[in-house]
């Protein structure tokens, strides 16, 4: 492998032509024109837009591409949970691994050079899914950064004892974070949240909780924020849907507590738009968290794709640009901030270094056939080149051919 990679004929988000030299996993040099060095690998980007690579901060690789085998007739969250629980009892590890690999490849091909995936642990599946994703992490270590979050519920009290043992075992095997779902784990979300934090503290790991994935008036995010004060490791709350429907004064109060505790929030627009609001045939809510209120309070807010063609979401393609498009359409964000939600904000929520087109920055980049961030989000073109640690790890080229129309010159 060449020691450095020269990207030529790139275009910055500001519309400027730029050549970029990458070395040792970092951006080494930028200029309007750079001459190749002897033996240097060169990739002609042919005017493609060069951006910080997106990241996927909330995925479920262990569930991906199971929609055909695991239908969800009700289309809501309880129906999805019930369907998946029934299916996972007989799920073969090799089938799970094959689907997870396909989902990781799909995300990588679309530019996501870092993925955080939740993975189920429970007595009915044991650590089979954990072992499959740990093997996948090792397999893909040169292509992307894969973080794993052991997800189990309940965790508190006698009912959660077996799950606590399994989560601890998963952490011993190398899983990165502790996960859970206090709003569905039992009758006491405070106890569920506390149990999750205690497990993480004992293992010296961070926490990423499914939080308030519903449209009720309860708000477990406030519980997490209060319990997370002084917690020595990163804490993330994913979904936080109910916050978006609470009175604005309550939103501001919860957002302030969340910011003070240093809790990051991950919005998951596609899956939540699909699952939530079915009980509201008139004036259906958008089922997103309070993006602007959280951001104004100083909370780190990012966004993820969540599920990929499973009972929780029958569509989804593992594309951060699809998530960004939904933030524009349903969250009323402008395109540039929406892209930041799925790139540098997502990376920050995952504890990864920020990326910029400047010397010294990590060489985690996406080259896409578009003239601007807005156009990239609008088209979601598959024509992309993903760069991880300074080398090309995925490349998709699109060739469009139209049949001649009557009257066209031969």
Q: What pLDDT, in 10s, does the model give residues 78-87?
A: 999 999 999 9
- Whichever domain contains 15, its CATH number is 2.30.40.10
Residue 253 lies in a domain: yes
Residue 301 lies in a domain: yes
Residue 324 lies in a domain: yes
Range(s) of the domain holding residue 246: 56-349
Residue 1 predicted with pLDDT over 90: no
Q: Is the peptide bond before 200 cis (omega within 30 degrees of 0)?
A: no
What would the two tokens of residue 215 be?
């449209």
Q: What is the mean pLDDT of residues 9-38?
A: 96
Query: Binning pLDDT at 50, 70 and 90, where does residue 409 land?
Result: confident
Burial class (CB in 10 A: 0-12, 13-18, 19+), 374: middle
Residue 401 lies in a domain: no
Q: Are 117 and 219 in the same domain?
A: yes
Query: Binning pLDDT at 50, 70 and 90, where does residue 186 land?
Result: confident
Query: Binning pLDDT at 50, 70 and 90, where does residue 16 land?
Result: very high
Range with the lowest mean pLDDT among 1-5, 188-192, 217-221, 364-368? 1-5
Segment (H or E) for 118: strand 114-120
pLDDT for 334 equals 98
Q: Are 90 and 167 in the same domain?
A: yes
Q: Are 312 and 170 in the same domain?
A: yes
Q: What is the mean pLDDT of residues 168-187?
A: 94
Residue 403 lies in a domain: no
pLDDT for 153 equals 95
Q: Are 160 and 14 in the same domain?
A: no
**52 vs 368: CA distance, rounded Å:** 11
pLDDT for 347 equals 98
Q: What is the mean pLDDT of residues 255-261?
A: 98
Residue 410 lies in a domain: no
How many CB atoms are located within 10 Å of the residue 168 CB?
Answer: 17
What would the two tokens of residue 282 be?
């008139």
Residue 130 predicted with pLDDT over 90: yes
pLDDT for 405 equals 82
**Among residues of the chain, what percentage have pLDDT more than 90?**
95
Residue 318 lies in a domain: yes
Domain count along the chain: 2
What would the two tokens of residue 133 be?
């994703």
- Whichever domain contains 314, its CATH number is 3.20.20.140
pLDDT digits (tens, 9 = 90+) for 193-230: 999 999 999 999 999 999 999 999 999 999 999 999 99
CB 115 within 8 A of CB 104: yes
**222 vs 226: CA distance, rounded Å:** 6
pLDDT digits (tens, 9 = 90+) for 156-167: 999 999 999 999
Last residue of a domain, one of 349, 370, 387: 349
Q: What are phi and psi of 31, to 5 degrees?
A: -165, 165
> What is the residue whose two structure tokens read 């072992």?
131
Q: Are 234 and 339 in the same domain?
A: yes
**CA triple 275-279-285, angle to 5 deg:** 70
**290 vs 281: CA distance, rounded Å:** 22
Q: Are 151 and 25 in the same domain?
A: no
**210 vs 229: CA distance, rounded Å:** 18
pLDDT for 2 equals 57
For the chain, what's the residue count?
410
pTM of the entire predicted model: 0.96
Q: Are 220 and 341 in the same domain?
A: yes
Assign residue 389 a region: left if phi > 0, alpha if psi is -120 to 50, beta otherwise?
left
Nearest Cα to Cα of residue 66 among 306, 274, 275, 311: 311
Nearest Cα to Cα of residue 301 among 217, 380, 243: 243
Residue 187 predicted with pLDDT over 90: no
Average pLDDT, the chain: 96
Last residue of a domain, one of 333, 349, 365: 349
pLDDT for 67 equals 97
Q: Are 101 and 12 in the same domain?
A: no
Residue 409 lies in a domain: no
Q: Are 321 and 186 in the same domain?
A: yes
**Among residues of the chain, what percentage have pLDDT more than 70?**
99
Q: Are 342 and 378 in the same domain?
A: no
Q: Are 45 and 115 in the same domain?
A: no
Q: Are 301 and 385 in the same domain?
A: no
What would the two tokens of residue 156 be?
């508190």
């Amino acid at each position: 492998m060449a020691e450095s990679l020269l990207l030529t004929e790139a275009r910055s988000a500001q519309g400027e032509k730029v050549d970029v030299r990458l070395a040792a996993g970092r951006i080494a040099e930028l200029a309007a024109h750079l001459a190749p060095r002897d033996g240097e690998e060169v990739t002609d980007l042919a005017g493609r837009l060069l951006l910080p690579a997106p990241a996927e901060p909330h995925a479920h690789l262990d569930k991906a591409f199971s929609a055909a085998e695991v239908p969800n007739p009700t289309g809501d969250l309880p129906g999805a949970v019930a369907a998946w629980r029934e299916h996972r009892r007989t799920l073969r590890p090799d089938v799970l691994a094959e689907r997870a690999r396909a989902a990781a490849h799909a995300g990588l091909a679309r530019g996501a050079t870092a993925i955080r995936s939740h993975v189920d642990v429970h007595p009915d599946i044991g650590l089979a899914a954990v072992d499959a994703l740990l093997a996948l992490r090792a397999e893909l270590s040169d292509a992307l950064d894969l973080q794993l979050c052991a997800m189990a519920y309940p965790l508190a009290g006698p009912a959660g004892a077996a799950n606590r043992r399994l989560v601890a075992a998963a952490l011993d095997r190398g899983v990165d974070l502790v996960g859970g779902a206090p709003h569905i784990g039992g009758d006491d979300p405070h106890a569920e949240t506390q149990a999750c934090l205690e497990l993480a503290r004992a293992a010296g790991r961070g926490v990423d909780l499914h939080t308030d994935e519903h449209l009720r008036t309860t708000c477990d995010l406030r519980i997490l924020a209060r319990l997370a004060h002084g917690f020595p490791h990163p804490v993330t709350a994913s979904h936080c849907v109910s916050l978006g429907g609470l009175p604005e004064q309550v939103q501001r109060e919860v957002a302030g507590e969340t910011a003070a505790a240093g809790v990051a929030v991950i919005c998951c627009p596609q899956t939540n738009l699909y699952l939530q609001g079915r009980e509201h045939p008139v004036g259906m809510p958008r089922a997103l968290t309070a993006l602007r209120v959280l951001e104004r309070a100083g909370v780190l807010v990012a966004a993820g794709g969540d599920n990929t063609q499973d009972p929780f979401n029958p569509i989804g393609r593992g594309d951060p640009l699809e998530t960004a498009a939904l933030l524009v359409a349903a969250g009323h964000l402008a395109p540039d901030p929406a892209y930041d939600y799925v790139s540098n904000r997502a990376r920050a929520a995952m504890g990864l270094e920020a990326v910029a087109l400047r010397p010294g920055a990590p060489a985690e980049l996406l080259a896409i056939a578009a003239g601007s961030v807005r156009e990239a989000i609008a088209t979601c073109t598959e024509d992309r080149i993903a760069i991880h640690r300074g080398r090309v790890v995925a490349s998709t080229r699109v060739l469009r051919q139209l049949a001649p129309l009557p009257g066209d010159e031969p």
